[in-house]
Amino acid sequence: MAAPPTANKAFEAAVNANMSRLIALARSMLGAPMRDAKQAEDIVQDTLLKLFRHRDTYDWSNGGWSLMAKAVARSVISCRRRKVGASLEADPVLSDGLGAENDPAEAPITAETMQTVRRHIEALPPAWREALILREQQEMGYREIAEMLDVTESQVKTWLHRARVRLAGSLREHLRER
């Protein structure tokens, strides 16, 4: 049975509108130890294929971001649980914007600072890092994060608090060492 034309168009529009954000989300969630830049893209494509097979059963009226982001996050979590891959290159979506409005002489400092912050975020425990990325980078709410990670809202709040405290402490320590 073929999907209705409206489901096909809505799915295509959602993919076109959200692809770069989905890849950035997967890259951020995978963490530092993975250097295979294609791993995030592969996970996103695999997830989108699964969604495509059932595209007529989903509501695409809101642009599809929430549905696709949850599916990608779950795929990344499953991938990591299977211990596939190890690290990632820097997130190009974040990197492309660095230094654009700054003086060119300051761009290397900004890039270095971002690398340092990224390294400290990647050193967080996986659950803490995921919650932090979903909240701060993807701007998701506590309830949405809890549903995505299949935990309670209070667990998300606890992870976020601990992640922020550890991140602030490790960055303070890093600055003292310099």
Q: Where are the domains of the chain?
A: 1-97, 106-178
- Distance between CA 178 and CA 47 in Å, rounded? 42
Read off the pTM. Answer: 0.55
Q: And the tokens for 88?
A: 């990632």
Question: Domain 106-178, CATH 1.10.10.10 — does that match?
Answer: yes
1-97 — its CATH code? 1.10.1740
Token pair for residue 11? Answer: 């799915």
1-97 and 106-178 agree in CATH topology: no
Cα–Cα distance for residue pair 72/40, rounded to 1 Å = 9
Q: Supply the pLDDT for residue 178.
A: 72
Which tens digit of pLDDT belongs to each residue from 16-55? 998 888 888 888 887 755 556 688 888 888 888 888 888 8
Q: Which of 79, 172, 163, 70 is nearest to 125 (CA)?
A: 163
HSE, CB side, 13 Å, CA atoms: give it for residue 95. 13
Q: What is the mean pLDDT of residues 51-77?
A: 84
CA distance 6 to 10: 6
Does residue 151 carry a pLDDT above 80?
yes
